[in-house]
Structure 1
Amino acid sequence: MAGTSQTTPGDRGGGMGRDDRVDSATEAFVAHRNLLFTVAYEMLGSAADAEDVLQEAWLRWAGVDLGTVRDQRAYLVRIVTREALGRLRTLGRRKESYVGPWLPEPLLTAPDVAEDVELADSVSMAMLLVLETLAPTERAVFVLREVFDLDYDEIAEAVDKSPAAVRQIAHRARAHVAARRPREVVSPAESRDVLTAFQRAIETGDLQRLLDVLAPDVVLLTDGGGIKRAALAPVLGADRVAEVLGRIADVASLLPAQVNGHPALIVRLDGELDSVVAMRVDDGLITGLYAVRNPEKLSRMERETALRR
């Protein structure tokens, strides 16, 4: 478990009482770790930063008197939320100097994430980009209320606001997200069908078939982070997007995968992982394409990441 090796096994100098307390703290943290990672990731859009948040949360949790904790899950979520809020503000400053579009870090996810429709929707690339448009506290309140169903009193403690203020923030954030999120929840079967048609069109070089699956106002965002070549501005419109995608088939292999709970494509060049392409589907057409090429964001594509609510 990330974040525990410094302070648990091997650090046994305090006698049996301390050993027992550390063991109990470790057991509770491990039991909720996937949930805590999911909270941090949904707030930050970055797995690397979410892991750092969990490291800091563990260090704080290890010093807590467990006898005073009524609800360990709620207490841990509160610690992680506070750490993530601080990290979110730092991350915002980093994004201001980011080269080209900033996209969330894609995660290779297990089939059970897709089966939890609400969880899959909340971690989709499209939704994480919508969450980027919220202020930090709004994002925390929205995630904790809408995704993890915490009550307003618990959220109030996590974000240092009154329950009445949290209710207002939740209402405002909900309206903001509703105006920007995908218009409908697309079934996994429909997503797979659209992805299959999209992949086939690219692999065969069939421009018309590609245009048939792209919405006229489709937007392609490419994230190279200044490390890999990528468009520095959004590519707008089906014709322009199809032109860009048409160059891929001759040099790359495309493999379907489950990314952030949804069907996506892994692009490999000469057998090496080059990029991940996720999509947003509305009314049976692709309205958004999100291509992550920045190698610093692709480390989570080699193994599945467990997400939990």
Structure 2
Amino acid sequence: MHEHDWLAARFETDRPRLRAVAYRMLGSSAEADDAVQETWLRASRSDAAAVENMSGWLTTIVARVSLNMLQSRTSRREELVDAPETGGSPRLDTPVDPEREALLAESVGTAMLLILDTLTPAERLAFVLHDMFAVPFEEIAPIVDRTPAAARQLASRARRRIQRQGVDPGATGAGPKAGPAQGENADTHQAGKADLIRAFLTASREGDFEALLAMLAPDIVLRSDRAVVRMGAATGRDAAAEIRGSDAVARAFAKLSWDPVPALVDGSAALAYAPDGVPRAVYRFGVADDLITGIDVRADLTGLDIVLC
């Protein structure tokens, strides 16, 4: 079989998945079809023979095309969610094997599409590719021009926004769901906070400024107690009592030579500087909307219940 014919046949096999990705990204059947067509044009002009993971390669192309289309939309918001005569989501033009891909009508509801349209293009892409199509963050990162850690934060931020609207990101049809019990809310918040703090620690150790910046609220405040300031002065390090703004805080922690460990401070997720297993300082984090809003650094540990994790 001629290479072009082989590619065309393979593209048709992946077309339902590509259209599903584009539809979830764009919320419009017409634009999804345009994105898939542009994907074919780009693929047909490339050296597909050198591609090892064809499905992944095509998914990356359609994601880039869809992201470009989202970013190029005019400031006047358009009504992009189709209302088909059947009352459900638009059907695919090509029949779909139920074992490969669920029909759009079974997996995307109008409520979800409306909420997705409130996300930034990068957030929407990271959430759609990871949560709906299980694309690894390592593959998403180059598409949104960010690190894998920053891409993870984009998806997590989008997920939280969707959940706050009463829509279950993992539910078929994306209908409203009952809110969890108060205890479940607290557990979920603590788990999410712990994950965010671990990601912050990893980014700081690796000097990943962009990843750090993606985790910080723009108006974040870093405060250090007098004991921390004195400790910094004694070791020749600059330890300001207060630092404001995400850029300044990210720079303070990027490439920082430190080795704290995850900890629980008074029962809340935190970090502790504990050489030889003895806590000398703790980093307590304020978190809201999946962003770090404040960091409180204390070397005066009087009265604190510290458990190293």
TM-score scaled by structure 2?
0.48
Higher relative contact order (CA 8 A, sep 6+): 1
TM-score, with length taken from structure 1 = 0.48
